[in-house]
């Protein structure tokens, strides 16, 4: 069993040490379900990409902006938000850690 608080701290430390400002860890993979911890330093972005069939984002630390054509959403720590069914991106407004839950077909 993984402790999300421990993983968040470990990957935030790794992201701060990384030239790319990010670190990720696959927490759970039970096809079609995947859960990934992603840490991003302030100002670091995940470029626009396609959405899986179903997904959500839980902000564990910091805050992020989920960007999409249908509108952006600023998500503070503790917020659970669905990922829109369209191309989207993610920007860390401050050092942040999120839990991405995705269902892939």
Question: What are 28-87's pLDDT values in tens digits?
Answer: 999 999 999 999 999 999 999 898 899 999 999 999 999 999 999 999 999 999 999 999
Confidence of residue 105 (pLDDT cuts 50, 70, 90): confident
Write down the pLDDT at residue 26: 96
Can you give the pTM of this predicted structure?
0.94
Residue 1 has pLDDT above 80, yes or no: no
Please state the φ and ψ torsions of residue 17, each to the nearest 5 degrees.
Answer: -90, -15
Provide CB contacts within 8 A for 100, sequence distance 6+.
Answer: 34, 35, 36, 37, 38, 55, 56, 57, 83
Write down the pLDDT at residue 52: 87
Cα–Cα separations (whole angstroms), residue 51 to 10, 20, 86:
27, 22, 6
Write down the pLDDT at residue 46: 93
């Amino acid at each position: 069993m993984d402790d999300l608080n421990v993983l968040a701290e470990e990957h935030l430390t790794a992201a701060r040490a990384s030239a790319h400002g990010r670190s990720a860890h696959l927490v759970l993979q039970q096809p079609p379900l995947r859960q990934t911890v992603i840490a991003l330093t302030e100002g670091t972005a995940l470029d626009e990409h396609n959405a899986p069939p179903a997904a959500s984002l839980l902000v564990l630390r910091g805050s992020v902006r989920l960007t999409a054509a249908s509108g952006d959403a600023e998500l503070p720590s503790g917020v659970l938000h669905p990922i829109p069914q369209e191309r989207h991106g993610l920007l860390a407004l401050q050092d942040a850690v999120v839990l991405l839950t995705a269902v892939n077909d």
